[in-house]
Amino acid sequence: MEKIVVVTGANSGIGLALCDRLLSEDGRLRLCLACRNMKRAEAARAALLACHGDARVDLLHLDVGSARSVLSAAEELKARYRRVDFLYLNAGIMPNPTVDIRAFFKGLFSRNVINMFATAEGLLTQQDQLNSDGLQEVFATNLFGHFLLIRELEPLLCQPGHTSRLVWTSSSNARRSAFSIQDIQHRQGKEPYSSSKYASDMLSMALNKHKNQQGLFSSVICPGLVMTNLTYGILPSFFWTLIMPIMRGVNTNSCSGLSQHWLFLQKPESLDPRAKYQSLTSRLGTNYTEPRRMDLDDEMTEVFFSKLLELEREVRRNLSKKTTDSEHYQQYLNEIQ
């Protein structure tokens, strides 16, 4: 039986590398690249088919930062497939990243230098904004859009006698200190990326608690230090060249989709729902995946899950109202013409 694998943000970086690895592992699977930019998605599909000529690679327009786009894409997926075996929740943004130069140079010559580069703790801030749904853009793109997609795809993900998998691309920058349960969208803070990634860690654990009995299992990965568009948006490429000798003291991984691919091969029942599976490379160049315990609180995770369900209802109401208002306006235009 062929596996149906959907990857969000699959047109470049970690997502594209993952797709290549998956097709190398199993040429019989059916792969769906769910991307916001369809031109780049078509280029990614062409690149994959150039290496895997017999592969089945579908394209789907999906902007996880737009609730309307998520709902439309979910309807398209339900029309195409009878089930989804793997849903890789990989798409994400880090808008206008700003480095605290003073903190950077202070940390550069301290004992904390490795941790600073590995987690960006105390180093990296971003400027966020509202999206068309009135949500914080980073929260909507990195977390809520994926949550809404999962909710819409439950008929394909939760089927009797069948196991489906969710795999979240998190980060070592996911820190509890950046997240507030009173401000889940991070409207008041300056670290929306870190907050959203910590939120995805919590959501993964909550989904396991609520959906494992229905055959849906969720896991979290950290890709390690990878050179992607997000990375080069933080510091220019020449700066990364200068500091990479320092980073050789850190276990890092190239942009290879290693831990995502490793999870593809595992039985979900054997995985720890509280672990983040980290892509690592030893100093001798050996790639491996290692589970690391996440700093999660059960009670706060449940409260967060409830808040997401409440927000989902609110967003759906607003979309319904907008649709109704648009229909009334169109009817008015038709009447006066």
Assigned domain for 245 exists: no
- Identify the pLDDT of residue 255: 47
- Average pLDDT on 25-49 reads 97
The rounded distance, in Å, linking the Cα atoms of 33 and 29 is 13
Is residue 53 a contact partner of residue 24, using CB atoms and an 8 Å limit?
Answer: no
Annotated catalytic residue: which of 81, 88, 193, 329?
A: 193
Assigned domain for 288 exists: yes
- Identify the pLDDT of residue 320: 92
Assigned domain for 121 exists: no
Assigned domain for 255 exists: yes
Mark whether 277 is an active-site residue. no
Distances (CA, A) of 134 to 90, 179, 193, 197, 278: 23, 20, 18, 20, 34
Question: In 10 A of CB 182, how many CB atoms?
Answer: 6
Nearest to 153 by CA among 225, 63, 87: 87
**pTM (2 decimals)?**
0.86
Range of the structural domain that residue 321 is part of: 3-97+128-236+251-335
Q: Which of 54-63, 105-114, 166-175 has the highest mean pLDDT?
A: 54-63
**Chain segment 246-264, per-residue pLDDT in tens:** 444 444 444 456 899 999 9
The amino acid occupying position 252 is: T
pLDDT at 233 over 50: no
Number of domains making up the chain: 1
Kindly report the CATH number assigned to the domain that includes residue 144. 3.40.50.720
